[in-house]
Amino acid sequence: MPGTLFIVTAPSGAGKTTLVRALLARDAQVQLSISYTTRDPRPGEQDGREYHFVDVDTFRTLRDRGEFLEWAEVHGNYYATSRVWLKEQIAAGRDTLLEIDWQGAQQVRKAFPDAVGVFILPPSFEELEVRLRGRGTDSDAVISRRLLGARGEMRHVGEFDYVIINNDLQPAIEDMVAVVRAARLRYANQHARHLHYFDFLEQD
């Protein structure tokens, strides 16, 4: 009874976090992917819920064993997406959503060819600039760098199965919900979930 892996990618400012949060509130069958990290848990964080908290030695061992799809060092802490953990979740039938950049998405796609890729776009590039400037806290140089980064991310939209243009929040949420619902109805998923029925239908 395999679940579906959803890869969700977006440039900063497209509204990904809001959309993903709304999806999780609407569809209790979807869980977020849980990363590994070497940073300390913050108050209220729980091992196996926000992150898999591990020490540096454990992290390196898992990494050197090839258990990670990708890893990165940010401000002196390690972060990683575990291929092994994801495989377990999918095999157990748990639909799992992974927020990741386009480079990470490429790695994930190699290991999970049946993953469903969703790219979230802002209504337009101009609107993205307005949104990024609207925060009002950043210098022009920072905003220019973010826009360049966003543009670089958006060039990879063609590598994704579905594109949601986040113009209005409510329709965009309906889009997310529909993509997830439809993915479960794909032949291979239905077959896996209703094995006896399909075997009976398709036998000679």
Cβ-based nearer residue to a second copy, 62 or 147: 147
- For residue 52 the two structure tokens come to 């898999």
Q: What is d(CA 188, CA 53) in angstroms, rounded to the nearest whole number? A: 34
Q: How far is CA 184 from CA 11, 30, 140, 161, 171, in A?
A: 26, 11, 44, 15, 20
15 labeled binding residue: yes
The least CB distance from residue 18 to a second copy, in Å, is: 18
The least CB distance from residue 16 to a second copy, in Å, is: 15
Q: What is d(CA 163, CA 90) in angstroms, rounded to the nearest whole number? A: 23
Cβ-based nearer residue to a second copy, 98 or 173: 173
The least CB distance from residue 48 to a second copy, in Å, is: 31
- For residue 19 the two structure tokens come to 């959309």
Provide the angle, in degrees to the nearest 10, between the axes of the packed helices 140-154 and 125-134.
Answer: 140
13 labeled binding residue: yes
Cβ-based nearer residue to a second copy, 47 or 197: 197
The least CB distance from residue 188 to a second copy, in Å, is: 9
- For residue 20 the two structure tokens come to 């993903």
44 labeled binding residue: no
Burial track 43-56 (b if 16+ CB lie within 10 A, e otherwise)? eeeeeeeebbbbee
12 labeled binding residue: yes
Which residues of this chain interact with a second copy, rule CB under 8 A?
119, 121, 124-125, 151, 154-155, 157-158, 160-165, 174-175, 177-179, 181-183, 185-187, 190-191, 194, 197-198, 200-202
The least CB distance from residue 158 to a second copy, in Å, is: 6
Cβ-based nearer residue to a second copy, 145 or 186: 186
CA torsion sign for 67, 153, 138, 170 is negative
110 labeled binding residue: no
- For residue 79 the two structure tokens come to 């972060």
Cβ-based nearer residue to a second copy, 49 or 194: 194
Q: Known binding site: residues?
A: 10-17
Q: Known binding site for ATP: residues?
A: 10-17
